Amino acid sequence: MCSRFGKGRSGRTVPVAAIASRIALLAVLLVVAACGNSVARDDAVQPSQVLPSSPIAATGPGGPATEATPRTRIDVDPGFTWLLRGNEHVLTGWEHNGAGAFVPTGDGVRTNGGIGLLWYSRCAFRDFELRLQWQAASSDDNSGVFVRFPPPRDPSVVVPGGLEIQIYDGAAGEPQKTGALYDVQRERRRNSNAPGVWNDFVIRVVGNRVTVELNGMLVNKYEAPSSTLPEAGHVGLQNHGPDDVMSFRRVRIREVGAGAAPPTAGRSGC
């Protein structure tokens, strides 16, 4: 039979139960430390699944979101497909026409020079819901989102061939403000955030009906006359000019109804 007592360093008799209690406590501490290391490994995000943090908090229909933290996982909305997101392949599937360029920013792209057009050339879309975020550096910055236009030879073919959803909130100059369908219909309401803060666009094009939501508010609704709007076309982003600084990120699309039109000739499908 084992004795219930042992001896400590001083030679005094120490209860075996006390020794066992100390050993059990040490074992618990070792298990807790091991679990902590395991959780840290499980929560690690692979570089291909992350976007760099942004200093500006995103906003949406539910109100301001919490400010992004480094290495935050960014998932696409259910049913949507990424067209432009912040990673090493940010401009895959896109082409640029005209002057200037779009430069990667880590979590999206920013205009540089102009006038030009960055358009998604991989395929055209019939009926869709397009979501994206944009941010102006100042209230005088001008840009636009283009929908349902044919493959462009130069930026000027976009306006008569499709629709431009205007981005501009300057007090002077251009009377058509953010949310207007350029040269077609003025915006019904204004709901842009201040310069330096991200804005959410939700643009729906179904048949001849077009709706524009800005930061959760319906700011325009339009039904094009029969045969005036192409049945299918591309989507694009404008760099308006050298003095206009506009950033875009999180561009994603969900097809509605019949879905995408046949891919542009010579290119793979979406």
250 token code pair: 């999180």
pLDDT in tens, the chain (270 residues): 443 334 344 444 445 555 555 655 555 455 444 444 433 333 332 322 223 323 323 333 333 333 333 334 567 788 999 999 988 889 999 999 999 999 999 999 999 998 999 999 999 999 999 999 999 999 999 999 999 999 998 877 777 789 999 999 999 888 999 999 999 999 999 999 999 999 999 999 999 999 999 999 999 999 999 888 999 999 999 999 999 999 999 999 999 975 455 544 334 346
Q: Is residue 50 within 8 Å of residue 73, measured between CB atoms?
A: yes
Q: How far apart are the first and last CA of the chain?
A: 77
In a domain, 51, yes or no: no
Sole residue written with tokens 């209860």: 15
Same domain, 166 and 100: yes
Domain assignment present for 53 = no
My answer on whether 122 and 9 are in the same domain is no
130 and 38 both lie in a single domain: no
Phi and psi torsions of 192, nearest 5°: -75, 150
CB 252 within 8 A of CB 131: yes
* Residue 25 sits in the same domain as residue 133: no
Of 130, 144, 97, 124, nearest to 240 by C-alpha is 144
Whether 123 and 225 map to the same domain: the answer is yes
Does 180 lie in the same domain as 121?
yes
Quick one: 22 and 114 in the same domain? no
Q: Would residue 211 count as lying in a domain?
A: yes
pLDDT at position 15, please? 54
Do 260 and 267 form a contact (C-beta atoms < 8 A)? no
Q: Indicate whether 247 belongs to any domain.
A: yes
Shared domain for 123 and 235, answered yes or no, is yes
Phi, psi of 251 (to 5 degrees): -85, 120
Is residue 54 assigned to a domain? no
Residue 201 domain flag: yes
Shared-domain flag, residues 188 and 93: yes
Neighbour count for residue 196 (Cβ, 10 Å): 12
Give the chain's domain count: 2
> Which pLDDT value is given to residue 57?
31
Asked if the structure places residue 197 within a domain, the reply is: yes
Q: Where in the sequence is the domain holding 104, given as residue range(s)? A: 59-255
Residues 155, 29 within the same domain: no
Cα 241 to Cα 135: distance, rounded to the nearest angstrom:
16
pLDDT for the residue 268: 35
* Domain shared by 17 and 105, yes or no: no
DSSP secondary structure string for all residues of 227-262: TSS-SSBEEEEEE--TT--EEEEEEEEEE-TT-BPP
65 and 38, same domain (yes or no): no
Q: Report the CATH number that the domain containing residue 159 is assigned in CATH.
A: 2.60.120.560
Residue 77 maps to a domain: yes
Question: Among candidates 40, 81, 100, 130, which has minimal Cα distance to 246?
Answer: 100
